[in-house]
Chains A and B, each alone.
Chain A
Amino acid sequence: MQRSWNSYSSGKFFDELITPHGRPRVAARRAVNLLKGLSPEDLAARRAEAELAIKDMGITFTIYSEGKNIDRTWPFDIIPRVIPARDWRKISRGLAQRCRALNAFIDDIYNKQKILKDGVVPAEVILESGNYLPQCTGVSPLFGVWAHICGSDLIRDKDGRFYVLEDNLRVPSGVSYMLENREITKRVLPELFENYSILPVDDYPSRLYATLASLSPRTTRRPCIVVLTPGIYNSAYFEHSFLARGMGAELVEGPDLFVEDDCVYMRTVDGPARVDVIYRRIDDTFLDPEAFREDSVLGVPGIMRAWKAGNVAIANAPGSGVADDKVVYAFVPDMIRYYLKEEPSLASVKTYLCMRPRERDYVLQNLDKLVVKPANESGGYGMLVGPHATRAKRAEFARLIEKNPRNYIAQPTLALSTAPTFIDGRVEPRHLDLRPFILSARDTWVTPGGLTRVAMVKGSLVVNSSQGGGSKDTWIVEASS
């Protein structure tokens, strides 16, 4: 493997493991040296072992295409990404700060709307957004927290700084892959763990349990917590089941629940059983056919009534999506100053709002340099990567923006950092991002590390699993004494 490592270069991009001079970064040195010492055959054997483990463990995600559900195994790269704990502590503080501000914002929007009245955020941006649910007005969940589970996407630009790219406040997924990735690395590269002190990730399910349990409206010794899934054909079903198991909670589908006297019950072999906390993994508007989409068969009629009456907690609270919008994203630094009276400690990406005429003009004139995103799509769908797009595609987006400016934002094309990735028997740089998960209730807690997603295609910046992305184990390592 020596040769392929020695010729490794990430060009103008910041590399997570290797310095521009081709030497391993301090925190990654022992891991890289060990990997260098493995023969290509050995490395290939480890990789095959990892693939087998993934297949046997049945770690899959489902892609819906051409009317068929395809179960894919999770693409995994065996070379871990290493981040020094000292750097991580700063990032972690920044993430917690962001989440506190976002929750204060959601609570404000559904109650006094002070931030709109004070003109810090333009009212029409919020009130005309499809993510704003008037049905949630006047509700104050426990601790003022709405988004109990947040997945924020971080990227590292060529200056080596971390930036927040977006906050996923509705039903962020991926945490189970973060946990499984560690499991797999332990199985196939056990010797890497020698002489390293790596922060463990496997207590996430218990942290999640504690967060959810603290929301219970009843003071029973062990509240009844359920994970509400859209069912086995959902792309994240594996994760829903994984988390339910990890918490010892019931994994339920809509038809397993019903509402009576504004309380939620599940149907069991012993008769109805009262539910205290619902960790829902279905979208807001599918939650309750009484309140939102009448045609939803995934939801539970009356569940919104039960939630508003305070008889059941729902995480994330319905309506949290109001802050999960790429236009709102542009205002998060202002929110942090407004609610917390602090300066943001994590950088955001410069964002042009097409709703503002001056910024729109800039965007239209610079489409070849920018990334344009619809305000509320996820999974990397419907976006334009200017520098890589055809002229026709850019013209199409120009029309879309002019037709509906509120729905589009633009950001500079970021030079996503890379890390050595094992491709066809060689080590090559591939772009990646990082999704840590933040739990909020009485306190805020951030996973040590998160899910690193890798664009497996050379030069690609799209890391979404639905579009050919893979992942890596992510290590937060303490400096050795």
Chain B
Amino acid sequence: MTMLSRVAERLYWMARYLERAEDTARLTLAYSHLVMDIPENTAPDWDILVRIQDAEPLFTERHRAFNELNVLGFLIAEPDNPGSIHRSIVAARENVRTTRDVLPREAWEHVNELYLYTREFAEASVRRRNRQQFLDQVVARCQMINGLLMTTLCRDHAYRFTKVGYLLERADMTTRVIDVGAGVMLREERHHTAVDPLIWGSLLQSLSAMGTYRRTIGPLVEGEAVVDFVLRDRTLPRSVRFCLDGIRRELHPLHNHGGALRVLDGARRSLSRFQVEGASREELHNFIDRFQLRLNSLSAEIVESWFLPAER
């Protein structure tokens, strides 16, 4: 069975937006916990969460101060922020609404329920009181949908483009999580180094990778080891390398894959070559920036190769 280019494109974006909603919820959760753990005068700034989304211009149009409520309102409930949980879920639902015919029927029901849930509670969950429960729900429901898709979709084009969407967004978000770490550390003159393990630990938690890290690397949470682990571990499902390898597996069987694989392999090479050990935080941040550009061009190449096919 072949697949309409338009449908493939919508599945790809459905997956990206669902993953974005889940990952934003994970990161917001981890960061909220981190802030509570850190002594008040050394607590990290909230603006970092906006910066890693590259959303400062949009944010400053709406708010003057980067305080907790403004930033979390922006990440959780802002309808105009393409990175917000609310907006991601609206966009995911629109994409599912228009591809229901190729998805299992329950997919629409669950995504629609998630949408109804977010619409009702997002605004009221910005404050600390309800935040945890809301974010937990978003993560759990996104995972349920992901699980449903992964266990019911035939391994055909529908699966392939959904999977690629999930993996690409996840790789992107993992690099952003590292960037949060780097960003916090860049301002380290204000921190005690005793805070470092807390920061990296919470980031590992946002990737559900704490347990695996302890088992494979060791009990001590250290910046460089964490960065290396979440960038390059071959077995960690949220590591950047794992995601890129997965994308390669899905794209390779498609016809017309030349352009996309070239960009993908370029990204994989640069990932292997990056020297984590001894890299300054500045260097780490710059690497992440450049790497995200590579992911952007990979997405553009996928759109070009399969979603906008020219007439014969």
A residues with CB within 8 A of B: 55-58, 232, 241-242, 244-245, 249-253, 255-256, 258, 260, 265-273
Contact = CB atoms under 8 A, between A and B. Distances in A.
Contacts of B108: 57-58
A245 B8 contact: no
9 contacts: A57-B108, A251-B101, A256-B5, A258-B311, A267-B311, A268-B5, A269-B5, A269-B161, A271-B309
Contact of A268 (B2, B109, B116): B2
Contacts of A250: 4, 7, 101
Given A58-B112, A256-B4, A258-B311, A270 B101 contact: no
Q: 5 nearest interchain CB pairs?
A: A245-B101, A268-B2, A244-B101, A270-B2, A269-B306
B281 interface: no
A56 B312 CA distance: 42
Interface in B21-52: none
Contacts of B312: 260, 265, 271-272
A156 to B, nearest CB: 35
Contact of A272 (B100, B161, B311): B311
A251 B97 CA distance: 12
Given A55-B116, A253-B6, A269 B311 contact: no
Contacts of A258: 311
B248 interface: no
Contacts of B309: 267-269, 271
A273 B101 contact: no
Contacts of A55: 112, 116
B4 A268 contact: yes
B220 interface: no
Interface of B: 2-8, 94, 97-98, 100-102, 105, 108-109, 112-113, 116, 157, 161, 254-256, 306-307, 309, 311-312
A249 B8 CA distance: 15
Given A267-B309, A269-B254, A272-B312, A57 B4 contact: no
A266 B217 CA distance: 51
Given A245-B101, A250-B4, A267-B4, A56 B112 contact: yes
A232 B307 CA distance: 19
Given A267-B5, A269-B254, A270-B2, A58 B101 contact: no
A58 B2 contact: no
A116 B204 CA distance: 81
B100 A245 contact: yes
Contact of B97 (A232, A245, A270): A232
Contacts of A268: 2-5, 309
A260 B101 contact: no
A307 to B, nearest CB: 20
A321 B75 CA distance: 52
A267 to B, nearest CB: 5
Contacts, number: 72
B158 to A, nearest CB: 10
A58 B312 CA distance: 38
Contacts of A232: 94, 97-98
B contact face: mostly helix, strand, loop, or mixed: helix
A241 B101 contact: yes
A56 B109 contact: yes
B5 to A, nearest CB: 5
A273 B2 contact: yes
Given A58-B97, A252-B4, A256-B6, A269 B157 contact: yes
Contacts of B105: 245
Contacts of B255: 270-271
B100 A269 contact: no
A241 B309 CA distance: 23
A359 B116 CA distance: 55
Contact of B113 (A56, A244, A252): A56
A244 B101 CA distance: 6
A223 to B, nearest CB: 14
A270 B112 CA distance: 30
A57 B307 CA distance: 29
Contact of B4 (A58, A242, A260, A266): A266
Contact of A57 (B2, B8, B109, B254): B109
A273 B6 CA distance: 14
Contacts of B2: 268-270, 273
Given A56-B113, A266-B4, 4 more contacts: A57-B109, A58-B97, A242-B101, A270-B255
Contacts of A245: 100-102, 105
Contacts of A267: 4-6, 309, 311
A429 to B, nearest CB: 34
A192 to B, nearest CB: 24
Contacts of B97: 58, 232
Contacts of A57: 108-109
B8 A269 contact: yes
Nearest to A224: B2
A327 to B, nearest CB: 38
Contacts of B8: 269
A247 to B, nearest CB: 9
B149 to A, nearest CB: 16
Contacts of B102: 245
Given A258-B311, A267-B309, A272-B312, A58 B5 contact: no
Contacts of B113: 56
Contacts of A58: 97, 108-109, 112
Nearest to A271: B309
B264 to A, nearest CB: 17
A268 B112 CA distance: 27
A117 B161 CA distance: 59
B110 to A, nearest CB: 9
Contacts of B94: 232
Contacts of A252: 4
- Residue with the greatest number of chain B CB neighbours at <10 A, chosen from A245, A268, A269, A272: A269
Nearest to B102: A245
Contacts of A260: 311-312
Nearest to B310: A267
A287 B119 CA distance: 38
A251 B161 CA distance: 17
B116 to A, nearest CB: 7
- Residue with the greatest number of chain A CB neighbours at <10 A, chosen from B5, B101, B105: B101
